[in-house]
Every structure is written in structure tokens, then in C-alpha cells.
Structure 1
Amino acid sequence: MAAQMTRPVTLAPASRGRLVVCAATAVPKQFKAVKPVGDRVLVKVDKEEAKSIGGVLLPASARNKPTAGAVVAMGDAKTVKMSDKVVYSKYAGTELEVAGEEHVLLKEDDVIGVLPSSDKVAQLKPLGDRVLIKGAKAEDKTAGGVLLATDSGEKPTFGTVLAVGEGREDEESKQRVPPNVEVGATVMYSKYSGTEFEEDGEQYIVVRESDILAQLA
């Protein structure tokens, strides 16, 4: 594992097509704890993978930014609990360095789902109005039977629902309104929506219910 930097640096998207370097905010050493306020949660970020599957050391620029970690402190969040292993939106939250360790302070709504002890994305528990979908395989031939190059295959925008969250909270009644889709349904979703994952050669995506366009039968 590469040596840990005292001030972790990540790249975040900026306007007009530029990238801005954002340094994590270091909490002064005299403060030993961070107590999230409101519905925020503090997540200790998983370590980055420094080697490829073949054991080759990767340069920092080639590593995937971790988007998972364990909840170590929380405010009034209702859908997660302490020690949960959570997945969150890639550029969400405020990055903090606490006692030399990388953390991120998130709003509860930025947490995509809770991972099981096996860390398998296929068993992710989506939160709120989110839906976990196993993507369909891309077509590798045209209608006329011509073989397509890998990078020219049409991106699938449909798949099978594996899990659904408890639903969004109604502003007036404060009751959960469950998503109007069921596990096992085949659905179409907006092309550039959601957060994508790849695991064991399979494609997965977590989208909000509002990004689901139709059910197929």
C-alpha cells in the first residue's frame, strides 16, 4: 500500500470543463471527535487499492477513488446506523482528515445504500427511493448480424430489479412512500442516470425511482 498523505487530494469536476484540485479539510489535532449535525453522517473512507488484480502497483492517478466506508458518527439520520458499511455518491459530501485518517461528512440522502458483510454489490440494500438494477448485456451485433467492436456496443438502459429501498419520505405525512416497482421486474431507466458498479463481470446500477421510465412485460 502506498504511503498515506497527510492531506489527501482528490479531483472534483468544475464548471467550463476544468478540473479543480480539492484538498481534504484537516480537523485540528486538539479536537478528537466530529459530531455530525442534522441528518448528516461521518464515514471513515475505505483505503484505496494500490495494486491491480495482477499485483501491478498503480500510479495514484489510475486508482479508483473510494466511495465506500463505515459510519463512525451520525446526527439524526434514520436510514443508517453506526458501523454500517455504506456506498455514497462519488463527489458528495465534505472530505475531512481526522486523526490522520480520511473521512467524508455526508447528508443522509447522499448515501446510496448499505453493503452486506460480504461487500457484494449484488446484495446492496438501496436507501430511500433508490432501486438496485442488474444491467442487461449490451448487444454485440447489429440488426443485420454484423459484429460490433466492444466500444461501439449500445449501452443498455434496461435491466432486472434486484432490490428496492423503503421509499421517499412524504413531506406532509412524514410516512415512507415505497417505490412503485418490484423485485424481479424488468425496467427501462434514463441513459445517464444513477451510479454504476461492475462486479464479477456483471454491470449494476442504482437509480432513483424517478429515473425509471417504464416496466417491460
Structure 2
Amino acid sequence: MCTVANNNPSTTRPHSRVEPLNEPDNVLPGLSIDNLIFGLDHGQLKIMLVKHNVGPGKGKWALPGGFIKQNENLRDAAARLLEELTGVRDLYLEQLKTFGRVDRFPNERVVTIAYYALVSAENYTLVAGRNTSDAMWFDAKDLPELIYDHSEIVDHGLNFLRHKVCHEPIGFNLLPEKFTLLQLQELYEAILDVKLDKPNFRRKMMKMNLLAPCNEKQKGVPHRAANLYRFDSAAYERLTDKGFSFEF
């Protein structure tokens, strides 16, 4: 049974000396997008953030996002904003939730649609782009102060991810194509923020018959090389058709 911890209570922070919003003419008024990108980096769960250099959030860290153009699909807008702000492209972004608390944005009514993605952070170098002075990966358990209600978005996203990873094999998106059982365990420990029993974890994972051996071992490691596995998506589809339910 998977127990989801919630160690990140949301907080609402006051705003002061707020600059005007000054939305561009070609965007939908009062509607924005924010991207919550989770990345696994050497066994640590990280979150992608940018530092604003203009507007009411100037000098503060935030989820990469912005306004939607009049002629733009929502997911296209999310992908465009992510690339413009961080240089990251070609991610599969899924809609998480709409956040519309009346006081979530200073002096304006702005509703935001949050998108999320799961990646291996080691594969993505961030480059600060338009209206940002910096772009970085941060440990999910040690984030800086975030603007607006972005801490609330992160908290919701973490709880959503912890629930989802227990019921769908989405965690494999955060791993390289070939991985060890230890890397897989570290992934679950990072997301769930728990310490798992090694024998029980391995027994449970192998029993699902979703891991295919690569008949290879790690190379260039200072310790005893471990066997490599890959996620067998075809086996998962066949099992699902027969009524298999992924439960961790």
C-alpha cells in the first residue's frame, strides 16, 4: 500500500510595491499558464524554476509560465513559454489543474492553468530566456520563496505525482532507458519522500513482470556493477488488457 506524505504546506505571502501587469495586446486577458516540471537528478527529485527580471515578480523565483496568445492552443502555449524561458523543448506536457483563487495575483484577476511533465533532469541544461535572469533545477524539498501561489501549485503537483506514481508506471519517464533496481528504488524514495525496504521493493517490482533484463551490467562504476533493466511497455499493455492494475 502506498502512503502519500504531505510535507509541504502551502503558504500565502503578502505582496508589496506591486508593478502593473501590462499584458501584451495579443494575449488572452486574465488567463495564464504555469509549467511544473519534475526532474530526477542522481536520485533527487527536482523542480525547474526561473527568476523573473520584469513585472510584479521581478527578482523572485517562479514556475516557468506566462500568458496565452489569442490564436494559440493551451498545450502549444505551455510548450512555447517553457522554451522561451528555459530553452527546454519537446516535452510531453499534461494539464494538471486550474488555479483561480481571487487573490492569487496582486491587483489583478488572473487564472492560471498548470501543466506538468516528468523528465530526467540530467538530460536538460537550462538557459535563462525572455524576461528571466536565471533558470535552475531546485531540490523539491528545498525550494526558494516562490511568487504568487506557485508554492500551492507545487504542493498540489507533488501530492498528485505521489498518488499517480503509486497507481501508474509513470516514474519510468524519469529514468534512463536502461536502469538498475537501485536507481528505480531511489526514484520512488525521492518522489514519495520515504525510505523503502530494499528486498521488499525488489520483490514487488519483479513480481509485476514489467521489467525486462537487458543482459548487461553497469559500466565505469567504482562499485560492483549491477544488472540493467528496461521498462517493458508492451508487456504493460498486454497485462492491462487482461485487467492488470499497477499498484505500488
Normalised by the size of structure 2, how large is the TM-score?
0.24
Give the number of the structure whose residues are more often helix, by fraction: 2
Normalised by the size of structure 1, how large is the TM-score?
0.26
Where relative contact order (Cα < 8 A, 6+ residues apart) is larger, the structure is 2
